[in-house]
Every structure is written in C-alpha cells, then in structure tokens.
Amino acid sequence: MIGYSHDLPPRGNYFNFNAYVRQDLRSGTLTNRVGAPLIGLTDEGYLAVVNTLRDEFAEDASTILKSLGTSWGRQAGEQFVRETSAYYGRPLMELPLAMVASLLTEAFRHHGWGAFIFDFSRYANGVLVVEVREPFEGSITKPECEALDTMLSAFLAGMLSYLAGRELGCLQTDARGRGADASRFVITTPDRLAGRQSGQDHSVVLQELCDHRLTT
Amino acid sequence: MGTLLQRLVIEADGRYFTPDERRQILEESERIRDRLAAAEHLERVEEPVLRAVIEEMQGRYPNFSRYHDQAWARHYRDMQLVLRAAASAMIVNDPADLDDRLLYWLRTMFAANNYTPEFVETCFARLRDIIRERLEGPSADQLMPYLDRAVRVLSDFPEPATAAV
C-alpha cells in the first residue's frame, strides 16, 4: 500500500531565500526567518580582519583565524540543528542523511559561502569530503598569501564536530585560490590527519585514509 | 502577480503608471484567476495522480524499496512537494522561485541518495504527463512550464558511482 510518509512532514527547503532572509528597514537590520540576526561580510571587511591579524600577530595569525573559525562553526552548528529540527519537527540527527547533506548545502549557499557538495559516501571509513565551488575566502586572498580557505576549513571542523558529537579535524587538499577548479576538504578525526599538510594530493589522502581504516 | 507587479513598480520610480502598465496589471489580475483555478484543480487530482505514478514506478523499479527506508512513501512525499511548490510558483508566475524553494534542495537529496538521473527524469516526466491527462486543457497548460522545469532541473546531476534504484 502506498501511503503518506508520516515520518517526514511535507516541507521544502528551509533556507529558501524568499522565506529565509527578512529585512527590517525601520531598524536597518537583517534577520533569518526565526529572528536570528544576519550581517553581510564584505570582502574588504574580511581582508581587514586577516591583514590585521597578520600585522599584529605574525605567524600566530593563522592559529587565531583557525580558532575563530572553529568557534564560529560550532555556534553555527548549534543554530543549524536548533532551527532545522524545529522546522522539520524532529531532531536533525533523525532525518535521512541525504536530507542533512542537502540542508547543509543550502545553508552554506544561502549564507554566501559558495556552492558546497557534501560527500558522505566514505562515511563507513570515517571520512567526509566537502567540495566547494566559488568559496569566498580563497577567492579574495592574494596568491602570495596563504591562498587557502583557512577560516572555512576551521568553520567546517567546528560545525561538523558539533553535528557529529565528537572532535573532528579538517584538512584542505585543494584550494581555489591556488588554481584548483574547486576547494576540497577532508574531514575525519584529528589523529588521522596528524602529520598531513594542506595541499597534499586529494585522491591520495582519501585513499590512504580509507585503506588505513580498513586495515586497522 | 508578484514578479510582474514588482517589475512595474520598480520601473515606475518617481511617476504614476502609464496606461499600458495599468492595462498589463489588469490583464495579469485576470490571469491570476485562471492560475488559481488551475491550482485548485491540481489539488483535487493530486492524490490519484501521485498514486498512479508510484504504481508505474514500482513496476519499473522493483528494487528501489530495497535500497531506501520507506522508499515509496518518501518518494510520494517528494512528488507531492514538487506539485505544491509548482502550484505556488505558477500562481505568482515566477518559475525561478520553484528552483530555490524546492528543486535544488531536492536534487541534492536525490544525488546523495544515489538515485540515477534516468530514474528521476522518468518519474517526474510521468508525473507531468499524467497531470496533463487528468487536468482539463487550460489548467494543464498553466502548469506545464513548471512541471517541465521540474523534470529538467531535478534530473540534472551526475550519475552516481553506485546506483540505488
């Protein structure tokens, strides 16, 4: 018998722009559909943060940026879980994985981070891959600088650690700012990323992580 | 009449509407009546149409339910969402609204579920065709651009490494 799917309400994309972003011109504020404040971060604003950190803290700037990204990502993860769980009427972690992937994609797209693809196909190996076309960060920093999506990488680690309920690390393997067609990130437990450097060949990193998992 | 009215208001910045613009608004208000009627008609036939599509797809893809929890019930829900979003987009005469409201989000889910583009295209083309059969001419004509768009956008994703249909 074909029946209605009682476990999932007939609700579409929570992040649908027309419904998600609200502008109050009297107060001059932007909020999302449940009233959480939003603010547009311009290229100049972001570059000012990065350049100031570099000027003031030299080699420690990258560490501070990562800490900022991780903290921001955790808070974004909490908000993501809270709002989507309320909208779809059940805890996020009880939604189908494909739906979670799609909601994450839409969340990043509608907040201006770029076009994301979350690949959970290596979930059994404890590895998640994220591909980002048009990442804002690596696209605006100068090539002679780090040209990596440092804050995004940390943001992903923080957000996905919150969603997974355990500490995760994030390694950037490809960077749009270094000429790759997309930025790519490999996310797994920090111990499995220890000793690896950003920019290592994406497919080799994946293969090694998956092989290692299967033999241990 | 969201998009037309919005466009005319923006274009009429600092002046009153011209006679031609006023005529366009009145004509659009008549078309809204037709589109609301089409949406009501769709609402009446929704359930039998969805059941007919599911039954056909079950015959074509007998293994689909082995790959996914509550596979057909969830697919029924997905098609239901498409019809309802198509009706809303049709009423405001804004095809692009359908993409952001639903299609991109749903397409990502289909790809993540390892559906194939062929499965999705077959399903939503049959949904469109059965709607065309069940609705009277004008109502079907109003909806077709939106259902055509759903077929095209939803099936536009790469073949999965391992198909699950």
Q: What is the pLDDT of residues B61-81, one digit of tens each?
A: 999 999 998 899 999 999 999
| Residue with tokens 């909208």, as numbered in its chain | A87
> What's the rounded Cα separation, in Å, for the pair A162 and A164?
6
Task: Give pLDDT, residue B129.
Answer: 96
Helix extents (H) in A89-177: 97-110, 136-140, 150-164
As a three-state string, the secondary structure of A54-104 is HHHHHHHHHHHHHHHHHHHHHHHHHHHHHHHHHHHCCCHHHCCHHHHHHHH
Do residues A188 and A194 make contact, with C-beta atoms less than 8 angstroms apart?
Answer: no
Type of residue at A63: T
How many domains does chain B divide into?
1
Q: Do B108 and A8 touch (CB under 8 A)?
A: no
Which of A2, A4, A98 is nearest residue B112 as measured by Cβ atoms?
A: A98
> What's the rounded Cα separation, in Å, for the pair A82 and A162?
12
**Looking at beta carbons, which residues of chain A come within 8 Å of B112?**
97-98, 101-102, 118, 120
> What's the rounded Cα separation, in Å, for the pair A14 and A87?
7
Which of B81, B97, B105 is nearest residue A18 as measured by Cβ atoms?
A: B97
What homologous superfamily is domain A43-215 in, according to CATH?
Trafficking protein particle complex subunit 3 (3.30.1380.20)
Classify residue B71: in a domain, yes or no. Answer: yes
Burial class (CB in 10 A: 0-12, 13-18, 19+), A48: exposed
3-class SS of residue A165: coil
Task: Give pLDDT, residue B1.
Answer: 47
Count of Cβ atoms closer than 10 Å to residue A23 Cβ: 10
Instruction: Convert the pLDDT of each residue in A148-159 to its tens digit.
Output: 888 999 999 999
Task: Give pLDDT, residue A6.
Answer: 54
> What's the rounded Cα separation, in Å, for the pair B88 and B25?
19
Q: Can you tell me the mean pLDDT for A65-90?
A: 96
The DSSP result for B33-100, as a single string, is HHHHHHHHHHHHHHHHHHHHHHHHHHHH-TTHHHHSTTHHHHHHHHHHHHHHHHHHHHHHT-HHHHII
> What's the rounded Cα separation, in Å, for the pair B99 and B105?
8
Residue B15: which domain range? 2-154
Task: Give pLDDT, residue A216.
Answer: 47
Classify residue B159: in a domain, yes or no. Answer: no
- Nearest CA to A145 out of A42, A41, A65 is that of A65
Cα angle A186, A59, A137 (rounded to 5 degrees) comes to: 45
Per-residue confidence at A2, pLDDT binned at 50, 70, 90?
Answer: very low
| Residue with tokens 């990442």, as numbered in its chain | A135
DSSP state of A110: H
The region of weakest confidence among A5-9, A24-28, B23-27 is A5-9
- Nearest CA to B129 out of B151, B108, B152, B97 is that of B151
Classify residue B85: in a domain, yes or no. Answer: yes
Q: What is the CATH number of the domain that holds B91?
A: 1.10.490.20
- Nearest CA to A170 out of A216, A212, A129 is that of A129
Q: Do B102 and A16 touch (CB under 8 A)?
A: yes
Q: Do A13 and B102 touch (CB under 8 A)?
A: yes
Classify residue B37: in a domain, yes or no. Answer: yes
> What's the rounded Cα separation, in Å, for the pair B105 and B160?
17
* Torsion on CA atoms A160, A164, A169, A173, rounded to nearest 10: -60
Per-residue confidence at A8, pLDDT binned at 50, 70, 90?
Answer: low
Classify residue B162: in a domain, yes or no. Answer: no
A2 touches chain B (CB under 8 A): yes
Which of A5, A97, A103 is nearest residue B70 as measured by Cβ atoms?
A: A5
Type of residue at A100: V
DSSP state of B113: T
**Looking at beta carbons, which residues of chain B come within 8 Å of A107?**
none
The region of weakest confidence among A85-94, A159-168, A194-203, B94-103 is A194-203
User: ipTM of this model?
Assistant: 0.84
DSSP state of A16: -
Task: Calculate helix-pair angle for A61-88, A97-110, nearest 10 degrees.
Answer: 120
Domain-wise residue ranges, chain A: 43-215
Q: Do A12 and B101 touch (CB under 8 A)?
A: yes
Per-residue confidence at A127, pLDDT binned at 50, 70, 90?
Answer: very high
Type of residue at B13: D
For residue A24, give every residue at least 6 positions away whose Cβ sits within 8 Å of its Cβ, in sequence order, or none: A30, A31
